[in-house]
A and B are shown apart, each in its own frame.
Chain A
Amino acid sequence: MSAYALFKKDLASELRTRYAINSLVMFIVVTISVILFSIGNEKISDFLSGGLFWVVIFFSAMSGLSRAFVSEEERGTTLTLQLIASPTTIFSGKLLFNLILVFAMNIVIAALYSTLFEAFVIKNVSLFLYAFILGNIGIAIASTLIASIIAKASSKGTLYPVLSFPILLPLMLTLIDLTKQAMDTTTFSSSYVELAILGCYDVVMIAASFMLFDFIWKD
């Protein structure tokens, strides 16, 4: 499949040069450290630690997910890609890459976070897992689309979080709420609506992205 081939190309490129992976890992470490230092010896509530978890995820996403399109634009290989694939293939391939990246990143963040913050204790693990999976998919989709937009603009680094935050906000709010619930209760009943929101967000975003990507990609 063409999109899968594009993903493999990106993966091979990343493994060979390791430009992004190194800085991304360091970024995660730095962000978590900054939070640890600012908290100091204060005890933070479990809800607060849940909220901060998604803060780390958001900023790590902003650090790592724009590379998919920005690196092509900066090297001039956008034209090359336009010559070998349709816009749908391009978006699918880049989305696949960012999906894998988001999951890899967030699993690392979750692991680091739960060891370093004692307040971060999840009682309802399966609820958290559902939220985690649906949420990561949503983050990947929205971030990939916005990355394709800012790749064509100037001051990409600062523009990326500015554009992504409003779009990701409904997702983040729902995820923070679900994390709270996963720490609180052990039942699913109150969370169905929120999980449905996550699902809807994913579906709506992916439909909108595929429809709109043509207009971003083609000059």
Chain B
Amino acid sequence: MSSFELQAENISKVFGRRLIFKDVDFSCKGNGIYGISGPNGSGKSTFLKIITGIISPTKGKVTHYFDGKLIESEDLHNFIGFVAPYVILYDEFTAVENIHFFSKIRGINFTQEKLDFLFQHFGLFDRKNDLVKGYSSGMKQRLKFIFALIHSPKILFFDEPTSNLDNSGKEKVYQTVKEESQNNIVIIASNEDSDLAICSSVLELQDFKNSKTDNK
């Protein structure tokens, strides 16, 4: 079975003069649900962006492997599904148009069945041909999940996945997470206890905040 592996070693990030975290190690392989927790401002989103390869760490190394082979950063994007409050979709297009454009740009194909299934699963089937401009924040959040899953990624990153969602929405998310985690890696960054409860292990980012000033 093909498997994805992520390794992050000695990750530190400094913004200007502020140290966010220092010497964080994190690794995962194959499948499972991993959690990253920490209060607001502890750098959860930053850490998630670093291990996804979106931003670079100040120190440390992040590597991704698929079937034992190293994946270069230019090829990484189709292995990854990313859901976060700060992911923005194009509101001048309809939901379906967004997904179509993204898939063409990714260079992947999907079946109409899969598209319909995902829209049904997240309760957006009736509104799939409406402009995203008219979507509520909860609907946008659910559309982001469709965006993250349509290309069958091997590793999923969810930053505050249940924000803006009602209870049925949250249930859908947990159900999706559990299904995906059978064969793929799911990483959740959150403060919510219910989100972290389904994780098999949780990385507490607060532990890595070294508030001693660097003396050189």
Pairs across A and B, CB under 8 Å, 29 listed: A1-B107, A5-B101, A5-B104, A5-B105, A6-B105, A8-B101, A9-B104, A13-B92, A13-B93, A16-B93, A17-B92, A76-B86, A77-B90, A79-B54, A79-B86, A80-B87, A80-B89, A80-B90, A80-B102, A82-B54, A83-B54, A83-B87, A84-B102, A84-B105, A85-B105, A86-B74, A89-B105, A93-B105, A219-B55
Q: How far is the CB of A91 from chain B (nearest CB, A)?
A: 12
Contact yes or no, A218 B56, CB < 8 A: yes
Asked if A43 is at the interface (CB within 8 A of a chain B CB), the reply is: no
B104 proximity list for chain A (CB < 8 A): 2, 5, 8-9
Cα of A8 to Cα of B88 in the assembled complex, Å: 19
Q: How far is the CB of A75 from chain B (nearest CB, A)?
A: 6
Asked if B47 is at the interface (CB within 8 A of a chain A CB), the reply is: no
B74 proximity list for chain A (CB < 8 A): 86-88
A12 proximity list for chain B (CB < 8 A): 93, 97, 101
Cα of A7 to Cα of B104 in the assembled complex, Å: 11
Interface of A is mostly: helix
Asked if B214 is at the interface (CB within 8 A of a chain A CB), the reply is: no
Count how many chain A residues have C-beta atoms less than 8 Å from C-beta atoms of the other chain: 26
Contact yes or no, A84 B77, CB < 8 A: yes
Cα of A125 to Cα of B165 in the assembled complex, Å: 64
B89 proximity list for chain A (CB < 8 A): 77, 80
Bin chain B's interface residue count. Answer: 20 to 34
Per-position 1/0 for B48-75, Cβ under 8 A of A = 0000001110000000000000000111
Asked if B34 is at the interface (CB within 8 A of a chain A CB), the reply is: no
Q: How far is the CB of A114 from chain B (nearest CB, A)?
A: 36
Q: Which residues of B pack against A, CB within 8 Å?
A: 54-56, 73-75, 77, 80, 82, 86-90, 92-93, 97, 101-102, 104-107
Among A5, A75, A93: residue with most chain B CB under 10 A: A5
Q: Which residues of A pack against B, CB within 8 Å?
A: 1-2, 5-6, 8-9, 12-13, 16-17, 75-77, 79-80, 82-89, 93, 218-219
Q: How far is the CB of B18 from chain A (nearest CB, A)?
A: 16
Known contacts A2-B107, A86-B77, A219-B54, A79 near B101 by CB under 8 Å: no
A75 proximity list for chain B (CB < 8 A): 88
> Could you say which of B55, B75, B102 contacts A86, with CB atoms under 8 Å apart?
B75
A84 proximity list for chain B (CB < 8 A): 77, 102, 105-106
Additional A-B contacts beyond A1-B107, A80-B90, A219-B55 (6; CB < 8 A): A75-B88, A80-B102, A82-B77, A84-B102, A85-B106, A86-B74
Contact yes or no, B77 A2, CB < 8 A: no
A5 proximity list for chain B (CB < 8 A): 101, 104-105, 107
A76 proximity list for chain B (CB < 8 A): 86, 88
A89 proximity list for chain B (CB < 8 A): 105
Residue of A nearest to B78 (CB): A84
Cα of A89 to Cα of B82 in the assembled complex, Å: 19
Q: How far is the CB of A128 from chain B (nearest CB, A)?
A: 37
Contact yes or no, A16 B87, CB < 8 A: no
Among A1, A6, A83: residue with most chain B CB under 10 A: A83
Q: How far is the CB of A127 from chain B (nearest CB, A)?
A: 39
Q: How far is the CB of A93 from chain B (nearest CB, A)?
A: 8
Cα of A2 to Cα of B77 in the assembled complex, Å: 13
Q: How far is the CB of B51 from chain A (nearest CB, A)?
A: 14
Contact yes or no, B105 A2, CB < 8 A: yes
Q: How far is the CB of B143 from chain A (nearest CB, A)?
A: 12
A2 proximity list for chain B (CB < 8 A): 104-107
B101 proximity list for chain A (CB < 8 A): 5, 8-9, 12
Q: How far is the CB of B93 from chain A (nearest CB, A)?
A: 7
Residue of A nearest to B74 (CB): A86
Q: How far is the CB of A14 from chain B (nearest CB, A)?
A: 10
Cα of A98 to Cα of B86 in the assembled complex, Å: 27
Q: How far is the CB of B202 from chain A (nearest CB, A)?
A: 25
Residue of B nearest to A1 (CB): B107
B87 proximity list for chain A (CB < 8 A): 79-80, 83
Cα of A75 to Cα of B91 in the assembled complex, Å: 10
